Structure 1
Amino acid sequence: MNDITSQVTDFLSAALRRPVEPDDDYFAQGLADSLFALELVTFVEHRFALTIEVEDLDLDSFRTAHRITEFVRRKTGSPEAAGAEGAAGAQDATGAEGAVGAEGAAGAEEAAGAERAARTEVATGAEEAARTEAGETREAGEAHAEGL
């Protein structure tokens, strides 16, 4: 088992509180749900220093530790995932990254922070909407009870 797969498997085993093998589909087994998927995406972003874009959010890429490993390799331009073309791409990306310098890194971090803030805002908005709806339902029930 390679280092990426090992790190992912360790995370999954700890988070799901049971041993997870590299090819276990924890979603199909009913061990994971959409909230866990968000936690898993966050883990992958932080552990492997990636920014996962909306178009990257394909559940099939996150179903098993092996699939996550392949996803990480594709995102990082690892030659192991993409063959000779990937190796050339990784070299080009490294050169481009060096050319971008600190300003590019700061911009990428800022963009990643903005995306995380947007995700948090969506989750917070959903929670507030649920609380508002629950409060309105309670108030309507109380008004109805007073009328009886």
Structure 2
Amino acid sequence: MTNWASLRSLAIVVLLVWGGSQALSWWQDRRFAEAVRLGSQQHELVVFSTDTCPYCARARTWLNAQDVRWRECHVEHDAACQEAYQAQGAPGVPLVRVGSAESGAGVLWNLGFSPAWVASAMAKLDAQQPATQGPAQRPAHRPSADTSPRP
């Protein structure tokens, strides 16, 4: 009898932990979605992608589901997109750009799509915007496979 009671208790604890982690994940996703949706009204969001990239498809789906203002730049179909992509020296896609040189706040790049990174980048640009009056500067780093959030 005590074995069944212990197993039942263990199952309840496991379900509670799993449910809590799911709730936390849902809450974080909603929080990032709202930050990205609001930030996309002020900052340009561009995703450099290819047709065969599953990570690009996942980013596309997430951005569209959250009603985010964004632009997709197909590296395989658009010469200007391919040129901008190659200028960054990124080893893969999706390559995400937040901001524009014309905005005066700067441009941030990331290899891989992460809603948390996009929200953070938009917040950084918001913090820089009032202080930056001159031309935008490119970040010192370039996207690399080592810093990609993708598995």
**Which protein is richer in helix relative to its size?**
1
Normalising by the smaller structure, the TM-score range is under 0.3
TM-score by length of 1: 0.27
TM-score by length of 2: 0.27
Task: Return the structure number with greater relative CO, CA threshold 8 A, min gap 6.
Answer: 2
